[in-house]
Amino acid sequence: MDPETHLNSTPLRRRTSSTAEFNAIPAHVYPQSLRRETAGERQGEVTIGGVPIAEIAETFGTPAFVMDEEDFRARCRRLAKAFGGGHYVHYASKAFLSKTVARWVMEEGLSLDVASLGELQVALAAGFPAERITVHGNNKSPEFLRLAVSEGAELIVVDSLQEIEALSTVAGELGKSQDVLVRVTPGVHVDTHEFIATSHEDQKFGFSLASGAAHRAAMACHTADGVRLRGLHCHVGSQVFEASGFALAAERLLGLWKQLLDSTAALSDAPTSLDTLDLGGGYGIAYMPDQEALDVEEVASDLKSKVRKAAEAAGVPVPKLNVEPGRAIAGPSMITLYRVGTVKDVEVADGMTRRYISVDGGMSDNIRPALYQAEYDCRVANREVAGELLPTRIVGSHCESGDVLVNDALVPDDVRPGDLLMIGATGAYCYAMASRYNMMTRPPVVRVADGEARLMIRRETIDDVLALEE
């Protein structure tokens, strides 16, 4: 099944306008196998990967992350096809990484990018081939660089002059040569949250294009011992749905590319090896019913065409184009499952009453609403509901007034303690950014496929926490 098709789909609206619409499930927000059963003994219940939600909750407890394996794999395949091959698509492991996920990415033929020593160690532990790994990070330790070089990482994206020098030293000590990209901040501003925009000048990543720092860094790579300059990298931000921002960044980077070709031509003893343009990730997904899903094929076709035209305009060979989707693969493939606890009505201004529905997780398993004001869709998963819609907040169990998962929704008034709530599109950054605030341990991650549910990552326990203490 295509990830964008689904049973029980609803019109694109920010909030549900009827109880029937609340019971229906917006196809483009949830995993492809998720559906509400319309007949039989499970009528009204939600299943995912052929497994009833209630059965998952009974077996693995709540809260729990539940990932649709085939949905994840299908998105890998779709992106690989759209961009002309899996080796051009580097899954951004920061979105969500485990040994199982690394193996899925490997089996679907994609490459991988890592942004820390720990991510690299997990990837290698999963048997992921280092020659398909790109290494990121603005503050790479000597240990991180040494492991990447010694294992034969495909590319290291350098982020400072200090790093270029350190990398040259490590490569020399190991008797190796390391291919690199220079991370450039091209001054392209996309419409996204301030904290996830990464292409403006005043931030920690990369070398400024406008100031000439990017050119100086590239030339430093070109002349450094043990370092081979392969190309340029940038990342314009996150939750981007159109190719225009990426295309403008490509145009500016290819202008620098031309300068580098001209500069290195004067160094007859050091021919250039430029061949790779990496435009990063940041492709958006639908979190809410009124948001449209990313048209992967359209964006890929548009971007490849614009890169080709930009290369022709700059008078340089068309580079190999790499992209780094993470959220666009993992995000829609997962839901978070909670059990309802306290249900409380609170009188607020102007005589209005708001219902607060508390669940057994919260900001420790999804910090994004508190951090980015991120919005999520929620539905009752164990049955169809029949009550009247009420203004509602879905909140967690933490000792924080900001522990809000869904800030403003219309939810039927017959939701009761013990019901199961699911929140869609939680595959990216939720488990990855999870904490143990209030000593609420991290939930398990459950994989579902072909009517079977299995643990991918077990639930953290208090014994795990206490074992860290001396």
Q: Which residues form the catalytic set?
A: 399
Strand 90-92 and strand 420-424: pairing?
unpaired
Strand 378-380 and strand 276-278: pairing?
unpaired
Hey, what are 455's tokens? 């643990």
Do residues 49 and 449 make contact, with C-beta atoms less than 8 angstroms apart? yes
Half-sphere exposure of residue 397: CA atoms within 13 angstroms, side-chain side: 16
Burial tier of 226 (Cβ tally within 10 Å: 0-12, 13-18, 19+): middle
One-letter amino acid at 325 equals P
CA-CA-CA-CA dihedral for 29, 31, 36, 40, to nearest 10? 170
Query: What ranges make up the beta strands (E) of 100-146?
Result: 111-114, 133-135
Q: Across the chain, which distance is largest between two alpha carbons, in Å?
A: 79
Asked, as a colleague might, if the bond just before 63 is cis with ω within 30 of 0, I would say yes
Annotated binding-site residue numbers for substrate: 327, 368, 372, 400, 429
CA distances from 248 to 217, 245, 302, 363, 375 (A): 21, 5, 12, 36, 28
Annotated binding-site residue numbers: 282, 324-327, 368, 372, 400, 429
Annotated binding-site residue numbers for pyridoxal 5'-phosphate: 282, 324-327, 429
Query: Ramachandran region of residue 206, left (φ > 0), alpha (ψ -120 to 50) or beta?
Result: left
